[in-house]
Amino acid sequence: MNRRINRPVHIISPGSIDQLTGGYGYLRRLRDGLLARGEKVTVHEVPGPHPFVEEEARLAADAVLATIPDGDVVLVDGLALPAAGHALWVERYRLRQVALVHHPLHLEHGLTAEQATILRRLERDSLAQVRRVIVPSRATRAGVMDLDVPAGRITIANPGTDRQAPAPGSGGTAPVLLTVATLTPRKGHLVLVEALARLHHLPWSLVLVGSDDRHPGHAAALRTAIAEAGLADRVRLTGELSGPALETEWQGADLFVLPSLHEGYGMVAADALARGLPVVTSDAGALGEFVPPAAGALVPPGDPVALAAALEPLLTDPAARKAAEQAARTAGASLPSWDDTVGIIRSALAASVSPLPEIERIA
């Protein structure tokens, strides 16, 4: 994991790299880690919207890649593949092109059949132009292989997790549930509201942390569902948080819930384990790869009945919650660090600089 890249690295970010999602956080930690190891890194922010881009974004991606010197390494974030697809095809013999796919775009929940088909074709055609694909999990590797990428070209680099002191919790008689996720359909907030409506007779409160401007229609539907379920006085929506404000919510939580319909990894679930918080999540995508059932529960995605059944004992039995906390701390201690992750990716980028085998060049 200590191979130097020996060529400048150009990261193609879909919009500002400072956005507060797990994918952009992954990009920032990679950028910072490579710089700390003495690599030369430049970030190019391609305007959006993403992934359904307009001509301006495609032309911007064309212009960015055209200015990159021959032989340099280009790492394209998966969300930028629709914008960069044409440029990747034009520059495929001149640049060392690599993709970072957090999860296949065509698997995003809430797409029409036509939108999913278009994204699948764009992803498949774009990934055919890169030398390597970096993914965060085995689940995403399977999704990328389904896009006709050979397993030998794929590198798994689980996101790192920072070591954390155990969260002290709320200290109250009504457990505080925390969800940290943008208010988009894939994150399963509506499933959570339906599940909690079944537990209205129990003491609890819920904090939803996440941006409400990425899918305004879903955010509005979520607020309506909360009101109609009679939960408005028990659910607090904070909007997007970071830094000390977000840490305050982590420290005051007793349980972490992530009812996603699909996750390429699920970095916030790993963050919860690192803090010793019981984690109740859907067994969707990669979540089951690192969240042990003993640390809370894994339930089928989109199943509010199963989610309610998993939450109830953790809300009512302090001993069950304490056992889950211990299992969460144990699981969190075994997660990879960002130093591990950057080392794996650095080696993959270094491998992209090597000449391709003759059979791949002909193909």
> What CATH number should be reported for the domain holding residue 277?
3.40.50.2000
pLDDT at 357: 54
Answer yes or no: is 168 within a domain: no
Q: Which amino acid is at 112?
A: T
Whether residues 119 and 234 share a domain: the answer is: no
pLDDT at 1: 52
Ramachandran angles phi, psi of 116, nearest 5°? -65, -40
Asked whether the beta carbons of 198 and 192 are under 8 A apart, the reply is no
Asked whether the beta carbons of 298 and 282 are under 8 A apart, the reply is yes
Asked whether the beta carbons of 149 and 109 are under 8 A apart, the reply is no
Whether residues 204 and 246 share a domain: the answer is: yes
Answer yes or no: is 100 within a domain: yes
Ramachandran angles phi, psi of 41, nearest 5°? -130, 135
Whether residues 30 and 146 share a domain: the answer is: yes
Answer yes or no: is 210 within a domain: yes
251 vs 269: CA distance, rounded Å: 15
Answer yes or no: is 166 within a domain: no
Whether residues 220 and 342 share a domain: the answer is: no
Answer yes or no: is 4 within a domain: no
Identify the domain containing residue 86 by its residue range: 9-160+338-362
pLDDT at 48: 83
pLDDT at 362: 36
Q: Which amino acid is at 105?
A: L
Whether residues 124 and 77 share a domain: the answer is: yes
Check the CA dihedral 121-150-96-23 and report its sign.
positive
Q: Any idea how long the chain is?
A: 363
Answer yes or no: is 3 within a domain: no
Whether residues 140 and 190 share a domain: the answer is: no
Whether residues 324 and 343 share a domain: the answer is: no
Task: Indicate left, alpha or beta for 232 from its phi (over 0: left) and psi (-120 to 50: alpha).
Answer: alpha
Count of the separate structural domains present in the chain: 2
Asked whether the beta carbons of 290 and 270 are under 8 A apart, the reply is yes
Tens place of pLDDT per residue across the chain (363 aa): 568 998 999 999 999 999 988 899 999 999 999 999 999 999 999 998 889 888 999 999 999 999 999 999 999 999 999 999 999 999 999 999 999 999 999 988 888 999 999 999 999 999 999 999 999 999 999 999 999 999 999 999 999 999 999 999 998 889 999 999 999 999 999 999 999 999 999 999 999 999 988 888 999 999 999 999 999 999 999 999 999 999 999 999 999 999 999 999 999 999 999 999 999 999 999 999 999 999 999 999 999 999 999 999 999 999 999 999 999 999 999 999 999 999 999 999 999 997 755 434 434
Whether residues 128 and 190 share a domain: the answer is: no
Whether residues 322 and 351 share a domain: the answer is: no
Whether residues 149 and 279 share a domain: the answer is: no
Whether residues 71 and 136 share a domain: the answer is: yes
Whether residues 148 and 183 share a domain: the answer is: no
Answer yes or no: is 55 within a domain: yes
Answer yes or no: is 187 within a domain: yes
pLDDT at 359: 38
